[in-house]
Amino acid sequence: VYVRQLAIHLRNSITQAAKDGHKSVYNWQFCNCLGVWARVLTSPGAEEILRPLLYPFVQVCIGVINLMPSSRYFPLRFFVCRLLNQLCATIKLYIPVASYLLSVLEASELSRKPVGKARKWTDIRFVLKVSKLQLQSKLFQDHVCTEVLNLLLQHYAAYSYSIAFPELVLPTIHLLKRVSKKTKNARLSKQIKQFLDKLHTNVNFITQKRAGVNYTPQEFVNRADLSSLQTFKPTDETTFQTMSPLERYLQIQPSKSEEVQSDDVDWDGSKSKRKQSSDDDEDEDDQP
């Protein structure tokens, strides 16, 4: 499937007046096509040849996120954000992924008191949609908040050597501080504070590097070797000791999503055997 075909499918789903028009895009076939193209665009040697496809591909991904910004489709949003993070890390292309993740933390579902129980939790990385019953649970809140911070960590680690890193993370720092003060979720507040500490550490790291810079912003723009001035990443092989604080934290950070996700744990915390049934309000095309 060409990127143009994906864009046509997305356009048709936007222009259609049908109630279920989004289902032509919000399915695993479409999402896996995005995943294949993300791997192609980030493969070695493909950047120079396929660079003209980067912009339309990113626009399609952003269009998919904005097509139906419902809380039930947060897993799909995370799936697309992972693809965009791959582009950020491999091609060093700036994509405003953070804005689509931070808006999740301000969703009303995360501030409501959890109610109800579901039969079983499914790994949020392997579904595109959650049921209404799952949406109202505390486990959903914990999974979503943890996944947002994980993806933000991956996103900013890709720019952790950038000379503009302090300015880049400033809006995120302000918003996370506001969320941390407003939230009643103690787990989320603790995770945000830990993440903010790592961001501040990396800001100080870049600020110290910038103190030794001997060129002005205007000279920075006019320099021919602009790409070499945009980053403080060592030119030789990067070791753990020479990594940026945020990249080092990403390397040693265990998968938080795996800590809170378990296919064999019911919502009440008890162990159970794997069940084949699913919630009645989940559609077949929302399962892998």
**Higher pLDDT pick, 43 / 122:** 43
Of the chain, the percentage scoring pLDDT greater than 70 comes to 78
Assess whether pLDDT exceeds 80 at residue 239: no
pLDDT for 217 beyond 70: no
Confidence of residue 79 (pLDDT cuts 50, 70, 90): very high
Q: Is the pLDDT of residue 255 over 70?
A: no
Tens digit of each residue's pLDDT (9 = 90 or more) over 165-187 = 999 999 999 999 999 998 888 88
Express each pLDDT in 41-63 by its tens digit.
999 888 788 889 999 999 999 99
Q: 9-37 pLDDT, tens per residue?
A: 999 999 887 788 888 999 999 999 999 99
Task: Assign 133 a pLDDT band (cuts: 50, 70, 90).
Answer: confident
pLDDT average, residue stretch 270-286: 39
Tokens in use for 86?
């791959």
Higher pLDDT, 100 or 223: 100
pLDDT greater at residue 242 or residue 95 = 95
Average pLDDT over residues 91-109: 90
Burial class (CB in 10 A: 0-12, 13-18, 19+), 240: exposed
Using CA atoms, how far apart are residues 195 and 156, in angstroms rounded to an integer?
A: 11
pTM of the full structure: 0.83
233, pLDDT greater than 80: no
For residues 76 and 194, what is the distance between their CA atoms, to the nearest angstrom? Answer: 26
Quick count: other Cβ atoms within 10 Å of Cβ 223? 12
* pLDDT higher than 60, residue 248: yes
Contact 98, 158 (CB under 8 A): no
- CA 64 vs. chain centroid, Å, equals 14
d(CA 174, CA 172): 5
CA–CA distance, 124 with 139 (Å, rounded to integer):
11
Report CA-CA distances (Å) from 220 to 14, 213, 225. 42, 10, 9
Q: How confident is the model at residue 220 (pLDDT cuts 50, 70, 90)?
A: low
- Is the pLDDT reported for residue 270 higher than 50? no
